[in-house]
Amino acid sequence: MAKREKGGFWVGCAAVLFYPLTWLGRSVYRGTDRIPLDGSALLVMNHVSHLDPAVDAVFVHRNRRVPRFMAKDSLFKVPIFGKILGGSGGIPVYRGTADARQSLSAAREALQSDKIVLIYPEGTITKDPDGWPMRARTGVARLALDTDAPIIPVARWGTNFIWDGYHKRFRPLPRKTVYVTVGEPMDLSAYRDKPQSNEVLREVTDLLMNRVRELLAEVRQEQAPAEFFLPSKAARKSKEQDGEAPS
């Protein structure tokens, strides 16, 4: 059996906090042999619930690795949780600021140091009414193309039935099943020699998230939508419909 990656004090604190949260659901893991037992990897994941970080951290930890999350900088300010997140190697993401590139640099350094980095490219919990991935931010493509680490798509489903933050619903009973499915590493060799234009970054981002969406469709045993959900487009459509509605 492979030796467990050492995490230190704060990873131990995270385990004490997160493992009990995963007992709210029955975990079913698929494709775990695709998580490398040593060396780096970038896990590209969908995001459906505020419970996801705990579930995903435990998933990686059960595979004998220490997860490093890329997470909104505001989460690092949350009492106790923020301290644990930062102490265990979390990487704050500063959106729309001069520090945004620092986040990618920190993630690259972690990957170059043979760490496992987890990223939610959507940037927040999906606003798609049916729980499918939204159109993702292109930072994931920039990071994926700047590293030689394996880029591994992962889909998770079921946490949204336990904790639905948008609708403020917490339903631990009856216990739900939480699925985590790991895909094969993505081959991005066709893009590595291309200039990182906005078009290339968008194409790579959609390629990665399309694979995550395909894995999610397998888990849900449903047909995935042809396009990624765009909150701005949905908002415009809603306004147009409201304007057309009779008074």
Which tens digit of pLDDT belongs to each residue from 29-84?
A: 999 999 999 999 999 999 999 999 999 999 999 999 999 998 877 878 888 778 88
The band of 247, judged by pLDDT with boundaries at 50, 70 and 90, is: very low
Q: Tally the domains of the chain.
A: 1
The band of 224, judged by pLDDT with boundaries at 50, 70 and 90, is: very high
pLDDT for 182 beyond 70 = yes
| CATH number, domain with residue 49 | 3.40.1130.10
For 94-131, the pLDDT digits (tens) are 766 556 677 888 899 999 999 999 999 999 999 999 99
What token pair was written down for 181? 């499915």
- Report yes or no on 220 lying in a domain: yes
Residue 65 CA to residue 138 CA, distance in Å, equals 26
- Report yes or no on 4 lying in a domain: no
> What pTM was computed for the model?
0.90
- Report yes or no on 5 lying in a domain: no
- Report yes or no on 154 lying in a domain: yes
- Report yes or no on 218 lying in a domain: yes
Report the DSSP beta bridge partners of residue 93: 72
Q: Which domain holds residue 179?
A: 24-244
Burial of 239 per CB tally in 10 Å (0-12, 13-18, 19+) = exposed
pLDDT at 137: 94
Backbone phi and psi for residue 243, each to the nearest 5 degrees, phi listed first: -70, -30
- Report yes or no on 70 lying in a domain: yes
Burial of 48 per CB tally in 10 Å (0-12, 13-18, 19+) = buried
- Report yes or no on 15 lying in a domain: no
- Report yes or no on 6 lying in a domain: no
pLDDT for 246 beyond 50 = no
Residue 15 CA to residue 1 CA, distance in Å, equals 21
Amino acid, single-letter form, for residue 233: K
For 2-35, the pLDDT digits (tens) are 677 877 888 898 899 899 999 999 999 999 999 9
Residue 11 CA to residue 16 CA, distance in Å, equals 9
For 134-166, the pLDDT digits (tens) are 999 999 999 999 999 999 999 999 999 999 988
pLDDT for 210 beyond 80 = yes
